[in-house]
Amino acid sequence: MTEKLRIAVLFGGRSGEHDVSLMSARSVLSVLDKERYEVFQIGITLDGNWLTGENVLEAFEKKDYSKLNPVIPPTQPSHNALYELRITNYVSTLNKLADINVFFPVLHGPFGEDGTIQGLLELADCAYVGAGVAGSSVGMDKAIFKDVMRANNIPIVDSILVLRNEIENNMNDVIAKAEAMGEYPFFTKPANLGSSVGISKCNSRSDLAEGLMDAARYDRRVLIEKGVGNVREVEVSVLGNEDVQASVSGEVLPSREFYSYESKYIDGTSGLIIPSQLSNEITEKVREYAIRAYKAIDCAGMARADFFVEVGTGKIYLNELNTLPGFTSISMYPKLWQASGLTYAQLVDKLIELALERKSQRDRTERRRTA
């Protein structure tokens, strides 16, 4: 009998998307085949503590960590073991949990999707699901991502970047810069966050000031984006390392004024049309842009590309590329692959295969000069 792969699923994290991560992790854990994988649950608290034990996900959902034990993250190359710290009768013991074959981060936002956890796993020479350090960090940072898209002639919405310091000390100047882009509405966004956390639609100066202050709570860099009028919100799922594939496209029908955190995860009332009812020409262009953007930031494993398609003109704008998209039961990423012929369980299996494939490519790279 083939030995099971040991998979460590990482969830929670230090970002504002902590609770979304728990939702995604529940879905991923539910489809990992116990005949193929030995699964270890590793929760990361909002304080950044790594914990394991019995029923970790349930403990995190209840915010009761009293029966969980600290985990020592991997720190040395070619030594992918996790160690559990147990304290009994005031005596601490460090026990080997397992040698992990693949780490599966189900972490959204800063400290999980932005290249930081990826850097840790790279230093320890571990195989892990998803994009590497560069792809993760560029995909996460909306401002830098837009610069890369401009350099690759991929159409994006007009925007400017401002700093928290400018917002707090020169609000009038910041508003003037935004208004120089055109008429309201504008959208304010933390440069490094997802799941629509901290995003506001601003229809007036007072809205803009309020939106800027709210976004600055979550990041020292804030994006002000020009509204593009009457648009359809279209998404495409991308999968692969060097051999990259795009799913069918899907359309989001927001239940609120825009596709907010509440409409995504709280009330769950936003509609999804899969496949989207776009023309074949626009659909193929959207899929082409998705793959080009994916390759431009050296993404790997997976990503979801989000677009606006202007009603009437058919003009396409790439909004962002999410390198660790939501994996909840209502998330678009797995739904689009299901519509493309890949079940949720098959998708998770494929992502693990891609992680091992990418690790084998890293292993072929010479790290030092030889005579």
Q: What is the CATH number of the domain that holds 13?
A: 3.40.50.20
Q: What is the pTM of this model?
A: 0.89
CATH number at residue 183: 3.30.1490.20
Q: Which domain holds residue 121?
A: 5-128
pLDDT at residue number 306: 96
18 token code pair: 């902590």
* Cα–Cα nearest to 321, from 123, 127, 103, 148: 148
pLDDT at residue number 167: 97
- Whether residues 148 and 247 share a domain: the answer is yes
Angle at 220 between CA 174 and CA 319, to 5 degrees: 75
Determine the Cα–Cα distance for residues 127 and 341; give it in Å rounded to an integer. Answer: 26
Identity of the residue numbered 24: S
- Whether residues 194 and 311 share a domain: the answer is no
Render 200-253 in DSSP notation, one character per residue.
EEESSHHHHHHHHHHHHTT-SEEEEEE--SSEEEEEEEEEESSS-EEEEEEEEE
Q: Please list the pLDDT of the chain residue by residue as tens digits (371 residues).
A: 578 999 999 999 998 889 999 999 999 999 999 999 999 999 999 999 999 999 999 999 999 999 999 999 888 786 678 999 987 777 788 899 999 999 999 999 889 999 999 999 999 999 999 999 999 999 999 999 999 999 999 999 999 999 999 999 999 999 999 999 999 999 999 998 765 678 999 999 999 999 999 999 989 999 999 998 889 999 999 999 999 999 999 999 876 554 444 544 444 545 889 999 999 999 999 999 999 999 999 999 999 999 999 999 999 999 999 999 988 878 899 999 999 999 999 999 999 999 999 999 998 888 777 65
pLDDT at residue number 245: 97
Does residue 94 form part of some domain?
yes
Count of the separate structural domains present in the chain: 3
- Whether residues 291 and 151 share a domain: the answer is yes
pLDDT at residue number 74: 86
Does residue 320 form part of some domain?
yes
Does residue 134 form part of some domain?
no
3-state secondary structure of 275: coil
6 token code pair: 């040991």
